[in-house]
Amino acid sequence: MTADITIRNARILDGTGAPAFGGDIAITGDRITRVGAAGPATREIDARGLTLSPGFVDTHSHDDGAFLRYPGMEFKVAQGVTSEVSGNCGFSSIPNEPGRKYMPGDIATGGQTNWTDLESYFAACMAAKPAINNIMLVGHNRLRASAVGLDKRAATADELAEMRGEVAKAMEQGACGFSTGLIYEPGRYSDTDEVVALAAECRPFEGIYATHMRNEGDKLLDAVEEALTIAKGAGIGLHISHHKSAGKRNWGRIGQSFARVDRAEAEGQKVTFDVYPYTAGSGPMWQYVNLDHIDPEWSANVMINSCPDDPTLEGKMMPEIAAERGWELTEAVRNVLTSPRGKQVVCTHFIIDEADIETNLRDPRVMIGSDGIPDLKGRPHPRLYGTMPRVLAKYVRERGVLSLEEAVRRMTSLACDRFGLAGRGRIQEGAFADLVLFDPATVQDTATYPDPKQEPVGIDLVVVNGQVAVEKGKHTGAGSGRMLRYRRE
Ligand SMILES: [Zn+2]
């Protein structure tokens, strides 16, 4: 049978961490039908000098709403990302009542919605012809905003039952697990028992608990303890999101965090992580600030990404804004946040040590998650456009922190196995044809903090479910992405 596409003479990295080997692959329909020497095909692509690997998986995205606003997902697919995990940090687009506003500056959905549950959200995404695949976590902040509101109090028995029912429903419909963002409102008002009860609804499905922990700074180790307690109590695996120790006085402490996790694993718990390859975090600014006690050290390290009331502030550091306006530093933070649309401000904060990024990347349990926030009206953190190429360029090629085979394994088979993307993450006959063809010698992120909306170079071809999505820097508009259900093809 004539294949649809052959990719010939590639260096093939199969995603398992094995060394590259030379050969061809054939694609028929949405699958890889041959690995080795391939016969004739309708379309032949010569990949001499290039490396072919499974498509990359962004294990930490906030693109629930982006699948509808920007179904071309150019900022991700240009990086070689063919699948991602959305619904992170407790911010998911489900459950949903059409038209209801759940939270100011909702990074997950950001506006129009006409779905109610995972099934109807997936249908809405598919109607938009997404460029890449998506698997979902159901998020605690959303559940709590829905059942309890933003009140600072414990959930009642009825509210807890409602939230549990929504987790179970999402899991039945194919979510891969439950996420929390315990640093954020309203998730931070919950106690550990509430989270255990909700996470436990994933147990019959062997889903996972993914967490933006309650604290990533001074109380990092307490937060790791709580995350382990929750996963253990729920009887499911733990995934620690964007593992870091924030704030200069805490730098280096992720070593202790890994050591604590090692002990838990020795006792039978299963723990994985993700990291983004940047020294700055990013998110809804109001969530990080107590207006009664604005931290001057933090304020000095903040950049504004999106500011609907004053776009001239976008891309500027807070000390620069304060100097320009003649404000004190903390007053500048207050003025930005208390403007009419202050809760829609997204910021970047430089809080992470470069050495901690390398420590993370050396650990075989750590995957790559962009944590990108797709607010394209402003100047988003460059991780939205640059994460995967930056790992390959800076940490593999330039610094040798991890090998190319290992980096690709983390971005492919490890992520697919952990998040239940069935039939994906490996180059083998019968697998889905999600592929990226790139040049390890030239692949490079080009997005910067002042100029973030830049696609990387050195990525020649991206294939999603057998269709070419990007070729030589051009988006084809194939729209061949799918909504994936946990461990189901
Ligand atoms: Zn987070």
Query: What is the CATH number for 71?
Result: 3.20.20.140
For ligand 1, the distance from its centroid to the CA atom of residue 460, given in whole angstroms, is: 31
Q: Is the peptide bond before 308 cis (omega within 30 degrees of 0)?
A: no
pLDDT, the chain, mean = 96
**pLDDT by residue (tens digit) across 345-365?**
999 999 999 999 999 999 999
Q: Is the peptide bond before 364 cis (omega within 30 degrees of 0)?
A: no
Q: Are residues 249 and 302 in the same domain?
A: no
For ligand 1, the distance from its centroid to the CA atom of residue 243, given in whole angstroms, is: 9
190 located within any domain: yes
pLDDT at 168 over 70: yes
For ligand 1, the distance from its centroid to the CA atom of residue 36, given in whole angstroms, is: 41
For ligand 1, the distance from its centroid to the CA atom of residue 354, given in whole angstroms, is: 19
- What's the rounded Cα separation, in Å, for the pair 243 and 212? 9
Q: Are residues 50 and 61 in the same domain?
A: no
For ligand 1, the distance from its centroid to the CA atom of residue 191, given in whole angstroms, is: 18
For ligand 1, the distance from its centroid to the CA atom of residue 211, given in whole angstroms, is: 8
For ligand 1, the distance from its centroid to the CA atom of residue 13, given in whole angstroms, is: 30
Q: Are residues 304 and 184 in the same domain?
A: no
For ligand 1, the distance from its centroid to the CA atom of residue 240, given in whole angstroms, is: 10
We report the CATH number of the domain holding residue 461 as 2.30.40.10
Please report the pLDDT score of residue 99 as a whole number. Answer: 85
485 located within any domain: no
Domain of residue 298, residue span: 294-347
For ligand 1, the distance from its centroid to the CA atom of residue 168, given in whole angstroms, is: 23
Q: Are residues 185 and 321 in the same domain?
A: no
Q: How many domains are there within the chain? A: 3
For ligand 1, the distance from its centroid to the CA atom of residue 384, given in whole angstroms, is: 14
For ligand 1, the distance from its centroid to the CA atom of residue 182, given in whole angstroms, is: 9
pLDDT at 58 over 70: yes
Residue 116's pLDDT band, with cuts at 50, 70 and 90, is very high
Q: Are residues 314 and 395 in the same domain?
A: no
For ligand 1, the distance from its centroid to the CA atom of residue 439, given in whole angstroms, is: 31
For ligand 1, the distance from its centroid to the CA atom of residue 401, given in whole angstroms, is: 24
481 located within any domain: no
For ligand 1, the distance from its centroid to the CA atom of residue 170, given in whole angstroms, is: 20
- CB contact at 8 A, 178 and 138: yes
Q: Are residues 329 and 435 in the same domain?
A: no
For ligand 1, the distance from its centroid to the CA atom of residue 264, given in whole angstroms, is: 23
- CB contact at 8 A, 136 and 86: yes
Please report the pLDDT score of residue 339 as a whole number. Answer: 96
pLDDT at 108 over 70: no
- Residue 420: closest CA among 198, 136, 169: 136
pLDDT at 110 over 70: no
**pLDDT by residue (tens digit) across 9-39?**
999 999 999 999 999 999 999 999 999 999 9
207 located within any domain: yes
**pLDDT by residue (tens digit) across 457-482?**
999 999 999 999 999 989 999 999 99
**pLDDT by residue (tens digit) across 324-334?**
999 999 999 99
**pLDDT by residue (tens digit) across 373-427?**
998 999 999 999 999 999 999 999 999 999 999 999 999 999 999 999 999 999 9
Please report the pLDDT score of residue 1 as a whole number. Answer: 78
Phi, psi dihedrals of residue 30, rounded to the nearest 5°: -100, 10
For ligand 1, the distance from its centroid to the CA atom of residue 107, given in whole angstroms, is: 11
488 located within any domain: no
**pTM of the predicted protein model:** 0.97
- CB contact at 8 A, 87 and 108: yes
**pLDDT by residue (tens digit) across 237-254?**
999 999 999 999 999 999
Q: Are residues 43 and 61 in the same domain?
A: no
Q: Are residues 243 and 316 in the same domain?
A: no
480 located within any domain: no
DSSP type of residue 394? I
Q: Are residues 67 and 122 in the same domain?
A: yes
Instruction: Return the SS3 of 360.
Output: helix
- How much of the chain exceeds pLDDT 90, in percent? 95
Q: Are residues 320 and 181 in the same domain?
A: no
483 located within any domain: no
Q: Is residue 83 within a helix (H) or strand (E), and if so which, with residue range?
A: strand 81-86
392 located within any domain: yes
- What's the rounded Cα separation, in Å, for the pair 275 and 417? 17
Q: Are residues 275 and 333 in the same domain?
A: no
For ligand 1, the distance from its centroid to the CA atom of residue 242, given in whole angstroms, is: 7
Q: Are residues 437 and 289 in the same domain?
A: no
